[in-house]
Amino acid sequence: MRELTNEYLEEAIEDSKPFASDGNVNMSLPTFDETMKDMLGVSIITPEKECYSAGDHKQYIPMQSTSKIIGLMLALQDFGKDRVFQAVGMEPMGDFFNSISSLEYHDTSKPFNPMINAGAIAVSALIKGQSPENRFKRYMDFLKDITDNDDLQISEEVYEAEKANGARNRALAYFMQSTGTLVTDVEEALDLYFRMNSVMMCCDDFARVGLFLARGGRSPREDEPLIPPHHLRTVKAIMMTSGMYNSSGHYAVEAGFPMKSGVSGSIIGAIPGRMGIGVIGPAIDKKGNSTAGGALVKKLSLDLGLNMFGVDRIG
Amino acid sequence: MRELTNEYLEEAIEDSKPFASDGNVNMSLPTFDETMKDMLGVSIITPEKECYSAGDHKQYIPMQSTSKIIGLMLALQDFGKDRVFQAVGMEPMGDFFNSISSLEYHDTSKPFNPMINAGAIAVSALIKGQSPENRFKRYMDFLKDITDNDDLQISEEVYEAEKANGARNRALAYFMQSTGTLVTDVEEALDLYFRMNSVMMCCDDFARVGLFLARGGRSPREDEPLIPPHHLRTVKAIMMTSGMYNSSGHYAVEAGFPMKSGVSGSIIGAIPGRMGIGVIGPAIDKKGNSTAGGALVKKLSLDLGLNMFGVDRIG
Amino acid sequence: MRELTNEYLEEAIEDSKPFASDGNVNMSLPTFDETMKDMLGVSIITPEKECYSAGDHKQYIPMQSTSKIIGLMLALQDFGKDRVFQAVGMEPMGDFFNSISSLEYHDTSKPFNPMINAGAIAVSALIKGQSPENRFKRYMDFLKDITDNDDLQISEEVYEAEKANGARNRALAYFMQSTGTLVTDVEEALDLYFRMNSVMMCCDDFARVGLFLARGGRSPREDEPLIPPHHLRTVKAIMMTSGMYNSSGHYAVEAGFPMKSGVSGSIIGAIPGRMGIGVIGPAIDKKGNSTAGGALVKKLSLDLGLNMFGVDRIG
Amino acid sequence: MRELTNEYLEEAIEDSKPFASDGNVNMSLPTFDETMKDMLGVSIITPEKECYSAGDHKQYIPMQSTSKIIGLMLALQDFGKDRVFQAVGMEPMGDFFNSISSLEYHDTSKPFNPMINAGAIAVSALIKGQSPENRFKRYMDFLKDITDNDDLQISEEVYEAEKANGARNRALAYFMQSTGTLVTDVEEALDLYFRMNSVMMCCDDFARVGLFLARGGRSPREDEPLIPPHHLRTVKAIMMTSGMYNSSGHYAVEAGFPMKSGVSGSIIGAIPGRMGIGVIGPAIDKKGNSTAGGALVKKLSLDLGLNMFGVDRIG
């Protein structure tokens, strides 16, 4: 077992970097290019607010699918578990995150879970607000609160690209409208979804989201309860079974703690009671996960004893 | 939070029994009939060998799919992780446990995971032995060791019924032979699989399997390492993402610890470092899980603080 | 064998009407209601311009999917077979006409055939014209030509309903945009498709479309070649294998000539060299075909010897 | 339009031979090897018993899937249309001939049609007889009758290979047993199916099967009715929509008459009232059809005016 220090993290970064060559940078994201392929950064924050980091941890990238867990938390807060899971399931799915067949064949009334695109769009449509602007503002306020970072902002460039390349997500949303799953305005629901994906964050911010989940929902600013712990249990359980696209089973075995990834190469990890982890590594594999980032979280799990299925803590 | 006592378990049984009416007894199992619908039993064993039980915990029923985790442990011991996961995946699947389409459409080279029938057949085919008899004997010896129960035996009646009604499993096995996934004799592989499903156990036995997993692989008899802990981490992670058929996501959220169920109404639970749980409740839902048993494990999780995604243990 | 007369057709109508009770009127179409359930009409026109009709043959209903063969003829004329079948396949499909899984799983580059919604949208997108209005005008001009009916017009009410209830078709179109199959503006392609479906016709008009196909592409007005016969062979072959939704095989067996149906209860039949048939019968079955109309065309085939797989004409 | 002569056929063979290079010989068939790649033969027989042939028309190859239409004729004779189509559908399917998903997803009670493997196995199981030997004898007697060839026999070598490599067909058959579609002994049904596929025929034999279908069921020996014409209409209609694997739509467009192919490179064509065609060309494409043979039938259709969707015969 290793001790968690900045030096250890630097070493872990060096060990994991070579895996970047197994992946490719997602060129459909504006400002993403080949020069980012070897980037790798990590931040870890403990409940005691100790912060460790290494590598390119100051690099800002769009949230992409990591936004799905923020949307889910807000929807749970707004409507409670029963209502949210009327609109979306909580079962893992063996298919790609943008599968449309899974909607048609299995249960046309709802997407498998909130971690796939269709599910996240259905969940986003639940977030309360008088107007699209207001709904996105609530999202941003919540995100600023839990990251303790008032400077977070959307990348207009990423948002425009999301809209321009949104055909597959439009197909998913209109399909859900056709089955009655999505009852609000489709283009409005998509617009919020695209905005959520376009917020720029760095490893420290991702790690703070992880810590918020790991600590049971207390505001980092005033240490007051912001969201009931049982909602966060729900989010973490779904991250464990479905957070890493259709490699979620692999990461449950090889890392063993709740994580959520995005095609920008971002990963948020939440080890209950112990720490939040934020990783960026823009080279992703075919399933959408950061290759170097994935290698890194597996190494952290092993070296720091983070695997929840282990019994290392037994006397 | 409640204290774990026999009285508490009796109370929990009473609270959960009414859910039996939501399910049906699997009449294709010999000796199973309507009179078993309201049966419900539970045993819990701690690392300190304290044993608590209530209800019909002395009732013997066939293992059915709970045998899948025993087969997986043996195969991991015999061949190691790399070889086993060449034959089978480790990803959860959004489909029914006997889906054949999932083999055809997704990756014909291997079934999604070892908890679905196709996957378990592929894994059983790996268990070493000079002859079918010898392979099954190894299975029984291992099972007797980890349950500390030399009296375990197969029900010939159940085994004959498995064979007679095995058309769907034959279809899965021959399909895997046609794609090159199953390279051993199909009927031999099926025969071992059918035998494994037909071993009779009661709640105490199921709980001891759970404890073996929870303690990290030490023999209950001599407290010596029987199987490396990292293999058991793998098994528990797969139980979490895929152990409860296509309600695994639901149980990850609502109970939050590794479990495996069988269509006989059996459930094995393993809470790392804390306890093994064995449940029987023959009334099952459409997905194959005990309805009263499922209600019971969710109640135990809540009352005893077993949800691994909770942060109850943080100071 | 019966002789084709108005009296015979009246008799055939009476025999077939009871099958209306097996179907239901498509209430999503404006102006369609229960009172239309028992309507049944037929017109038959021969190359010699003899016209026979019976029942509600003067009733106007929207073309719905019968428009798909008009769009296909125009696209073939505009671009030729090679280009059209780069955008769409020509294989029958075992799935419902609005299946989206079939796009995802089989060959994401193109829909199965031009008789399913996705295929017809892709084909409509090919129709030439400087503007959406101009493209629809070309469609109407062609339709007026081949039906010899300058009074044909769109129902604005049906068109508005198509647009309002078009979520599933939008999903199909955006899915095709996401895979690169649809390269033109999605909403424009859909708008043309919705307009095409909304043109009102009666049995005489439907029969004239059938005759145009049966005669090999000569204008009914001036008897001049309007479209090359080989394109019409293509259309008729596709009608035979795919024209009656996923009952096309049934109708190939039971009637044995090229037909195309619509969910308004319309059917166009084309017996090469012999006649065109137009049928309306608004009560449709679950697959989308008129129940009484279907019974009628089967009876006509038998009584008039229209089954192309028969050998009645051999000496 | 060309005149049908031996010289014309020789010319057509030469023109079509180069397409053999687009395909591959099915090496899983015993005695099939690379030297057969360029083989191409054709025979055409008219109702007047005029016989034209060219190329390798004397080469014997196993029937493979062309046996499916013989089995269907026998089953229709034995049980009638209603009973046969309780066991199997008559709809074309957009999937590969050995698809198992299509059984699971669409209608588990029966396979799509009798031209796919699952459907043909279900149909073969219907053929009457006191014993497996007797059932196969009836098949052979019928086949000898309609081909007027008492020398037809099975290749034991092919039959053994079919059995040895039958895993996929076993999977299909056991799947159908599990859904109750196949109620007879699975291995017996498969054995008959394997035997049927293993009968050796040459172009003349294949052409005579085609002629039997084209003439409406009269025995070539005594010119007496052997099977009712309406059953043959059914068989020809299903050949048109489903006879050429999942290229059936393509051949309906490009050739326009009922055909059935086999993976040995055999093709049977039946032009109602006009002729029977037999083709062999062992190089097959990925869908299972002879590439040179396919080119040849398309050429014959064009040159001899065989396309049933044409209007060439109209005055």
% pLDDT > 70, chain A = 94
DSSP single-letter state for residue A160: H
pLDDT value for A123: 96
Determine which one of D17, D37, D68, D260 is catalytic.
D68
For residue B65, indicate whether it is catalytic.
yes
Does the beta-carbon distance from A215 to B314 stay under 8 Å? yes
Query: Do B209 and B266 belong together in one domain?
Result: yes
Which residue in the set C252, C272, C309 is minimally distant from D309, CB to CB? C272
pLDDT per position as a tens digit, D246-290:
899 999 999 999 999 999 999 999 999 999 999 999 999 999 999
C216: left (phi over 0), alpha (psi -120 to 50) or beta: left
> Predicted ipTM?
0.96
Query: Do B52 and B140 belong together in one domain?
Result: no
A287 has pLDDT over 50: yes
Residue B127 lies in a domain: yes
Q: Which of D104, D108, D169 to mutate against chain B (most B CBs within 10 Å)?
A: D104
What is the identity of the amino acid at A63?
Answer: M
The candidate with the shortest Cα–Cα distance to C195, out of C71, C101, C102, C77, is C71
Residue A314 lies in a domain: no
Residue B175 touches partner D, C-beta closer than 8 Å: yes
* B105 — pLDDT class (breaks 50, 70, 90): low
b (16+ CB within 10 A) / e for C95-106: bbbbbbbbbbbb
Query: Do B71 and B143 belong together in one domain?
Result: yes
Query: Do D124 and D271 belong together in one domain?
Result: no
Q: What is the mean pLDDT of residues C248-272?
A: 98
- Planar angle of CA B208, B212, B217, nearest 5 degrees: 160
CA dihedral D130, D133, D135, D137 (to 10 degrees): -130
How far apart CA A51 and CA A5 sit, in angstroms, is: 9
pLDDT per position as a tens digit, A123-152:
999 999 999 899 999 999 999 999 999 999
Last residue of a domain, one of C149, C171, C197: C197
pLDDT per position as a tens digit, B42-57:
999 999 999 999 999 9
How far apart CA C214 and CA C154 sit, in angstroms, is: 25
Min mean pLDDT across B3-7, B133-137, C27-31, C216-220 is at C216-220
Determine which one of A16, A25, A67, A68 is catalytic.
A68
Residue A312 lies in a domain: no
Query: Do A94 and A177 belong together in one domain?
Result: yes
Task: Give the number of beta-carbon pairs within 8 Å between A and B.
Answer: 140
Q: Cite the DSSP H helix spans in chain D.
A: 6-16, 67-87, 101-105, 117-124, 132-147, 156-164, 167-178, 186-197, 203-215, 229-242, 248-254, 291-304
Query: Do D146 and D44 belong together in one domain?
Result: no
Residue A214 lies in a domain: yes
Residue D161 lies in a domain: yes
- Find out whether B168 and D104 touch, Cβ atoms under 8 Å: no
With contacts defined as CB-CB under 8 Å, which chain B residues touch A250? 90-91
B213 has pLDDT over 50: yes
A238 has pLDDT over 90: yes
Boundaries of domain holding B10: 6-64+200-304
Cα separations in angstroms, C249 against C261, D237, D240: 14, 8, 9
pLDDT value for D97: 67
- Find out whether D25 and D32 touch, Cβ atoms under 8 Å: yes
pLDDT value for D315: 31
- Find out whether D57 and D203 touch, Cβ atoms under 8 Å: yes
Residue A311 lies in a domain: no
Residue A104 lies in a domain: yes
* D313 — pLDDT class (breaks 50, 70, 90): very low
Q: What is the mean pLDDT of residues B161-166?
A: 95
Q: What is the mean pLDDT of residues B288-315?
A: 89
Does the beta-carbon distance from D249 to C310 stay under 8 Å? no
- Find out whether B255 and B298 touch, Cβ atoms under 8 Å: yes
With contacts defined as CB-CB under 8 Å, which chain A residues touch B246? 91
B313 has pLDDT over 70: no
pLDDT value for B199: 98
- Planar angle of CA C179, C181, C183, nearest 5 degrees: 105
Residue A86 touches partner B, C-beta closer than 8 Å: no
Which residue in the set A238, A308, A314 is minimally distant from B308, CB to CB? A308
B312 has pLDDT over 90: no
Residue A105 touches partner C, C-beta closer than 8 Å: yes
pLDDT value for B31: 86
Does the beta-carbon distance from D272 to C308 stay under 8 Å? yes
Which residues 182-201 of chain B have a CB within 8 Å of chain D? 186
Residue C59 touches partner A, C-beta closer than 8 Å: no
Does the beta-carbon distance from A104 to C105 stay under 8 Å? no
Does the beta-carbon distance from B94 to A95 stay under 8 Å? yes
Residue B259 touches partner D, C-beta closer than 8 Å: no
Share the mean pLDDT of chain B.
93
Place of tokens 């694997």: D245
* B219 — pLDDT class (breaks 50, 70, 90): confident
Instruction: State the chains in contact with A (3 or more Cβ–Cβ pairs under 8 Å).
Output: B, C
Query: Do C182 and C206 belong together in one domain?
Result: no
Determine which one of B52, B139, B159, B193 is catalytic.
B193
How far apart CA C292 and CA D308 sit, in angstroms, is: 27
* B141 — pLDDT class (breaks 50, 70, 90): very high
How far apart CA C116 and CA C246 sit, in angstroms, is: 10
Query: Do A206 and A249 belong together in one domain?
Result: yes
Determine which one of C37, C68, C110, C298 is catalytic.
C68
Å between A268 CA and nearest CA of chain C: 28
% pLDDT > 90, chain A = 87
- Find out whether D216 and D275 touch, Cβ atoms under 8 Å: no
Query: Do D34 and D151 belong together in one domain?
Result: no
How far apart CA A190 and CA C170 sit, in angstroms, is: 14
Q: Cite the DSSP H helix spans in B198-280.
A: 203-215, 229-242, 248-254
Burial class (CB in 10 A: 0-12, 13-18, 19+), B101: middle
Residue C175 touches partner A, C-beta closer than 8 Å: yes
Residue C309 lies in a domain: no
Sequence-distant (6+) residues with CB within 8 A of A187 are: none
Residues in chain D: 315
Q: What is the mean pLDDT of residues D44-63?
A: 97
CA dihedral A41, A46, A52, A55 (to 10 degrees): 0
Residue B181 touches partner D, C-beta closer than 8 Å: no
How far apart CA A242 and CA A65 sit, in angstroms, is: 12
- pTM (2 decimals)? 0.94
For residue B193, indicate whether it is catalytic.
yes
Cα separations in angstroms, A173 against A31, C109, C165, C170: 27, 21, 14, 9
- Chain A: residue whose CA lies nearest to B91: A249
Residue C314 touches partner A, C-beta closer than 8 Å: no
Last residue of a domain, one of D135, D170, D197: D197
Å between D173 CA and nearest CA of chain B: 7
How far apart CA C57 and CA C55 sit, in angstroms, is: 5
Query: Do A57 and A206 belong together in one domain?
Result: yes
How far apart CA D53 and CA C185 sit, in angstroms, is: 54
Residue C168 touches partner A, C-beta closer than 8 Å: yes
Last residue of a domain, one of B197, B223, B243: B197
Does the beta-carbon distance from D100 to B171 stay under 8 Å? yes
Does the beta-carbon distance from B256 to A250 stay under 8 Å? no
Q: Which of A93, A95, A99, A100 to mutate against chain C (most C CBs within 10 Å)?
A: A100
For residue D43, indicate whether it is catalytic.
no
Cα separations in angstroms, A51 against A6, A205, A295: 9, 11, 21
DSSP single-letter state for residue A288: S
With contacts defined as CB-CB under 8 Å, which chain B residues touch A238? 249, 252-253
Q: What is the CATH number of the domain that holds A249?
A: 3.40.710.10
Place of tokens 């030399």: B150
Which residue in the set B89, B106, B249 is minimally distant from A241, CB to CB? B249
pLDDT per position as a tens digit, D78-134:
999 999 999 999 999 877 766 766 666 665 568 999 999 999 999 999 999 999 899
A313 has pLDDT over 50: no
* C303 — pLDDT class (breaks 50, 70, 90): very high
Residue C259 — φ and ψ, nearest 5°? Answer: -140, 155
Q: For residue A174, give both structure tokens.
A: 């209109």
B127 has pLDDT over 50: yes
Query: Do C22 and C90 belong together in one domain?
Result: no
Q: What is the mean pLDDT of residues C115-137?
A: 94
Residue A223 — φ and ψ, nearest 5°? Answer: 55, 35
Q: Are strands B61-62 and D283-284 parallel, antiparallel or unpaired?
A: unpaired
For residue D110, indicate whether it is catalytic.
no
% pLDDT > 90, chain B = 87
User: Which pairs with CB-CB distance under 8 Å and at least 24 residues apart come from B76-80?
Assistant: B76/B227, B76/B231, B76/B234, B76/B235, B77/B227, B77/B231, B78/B126, B78/B127, B78/B128, B79/B126, B79/B128
- Other residues' Cβ atoms within 10 Å of the Cβ of residue D228: 15
Place of tokens 């068989």: D235
Q: Euclidean distance between the first and final Cα of chain B, in Å?
A: 16
Sequence-distant (6+) residues with CB within 8 A of B131 are: none
Share the mean pLDDT of chain C.
93
Residue A149 touches partner B, C-beta closer than 8 Å: no
How far apart CA B182 and CA A103 sit, in angstroms, is: 31
Place of tokens 């994201």: A29
Which residue in the set D47, D93, D256 is minimally distant from C314, CB to CB? D47
With contacts defined as CB-CB under 8 Å, which chain B residues touch D103? 100
With contacts defined as CB-CB under 8 Å, which chain B residues touch D186? 167
pLDDT value for D312: 52
Q: Euclidean distance between the first and final Cα of chain C, in Å?
A: 16
B97 has pLDDT over 70: no
Count of structural domains within chain A: 2
Q: For residue C114, give both structure tokens.
A: 């031009």
For residue B60, indicate whether it is catalytic.
no
Q: What is the mean pLDDT of residues B148-156?
A: 97
- Find out whether A308 and A280 touch, Cβ atoms under 8 Å: no
Q: What is the mean pLDDT of residues C252-275?
A: 98
* A105 — pLDDT class (breaks 50, 70, 90): low
Burial class (CB in 10 A: 0-12, 13-18, 19+), C287: middle
How far apart CA D276 and CA D147 sit, in angstroms, is: 11
pLDDT per position as a tens digit, C22-66:
999 999 999 899 999 999 999 999 999 999 999 999 999 999 999
- Other residues' Cβ atoms within 10 Å of the Cβ of residue C179: 16
Query: Do A210 and A190 belong together in one domain?
Result: no
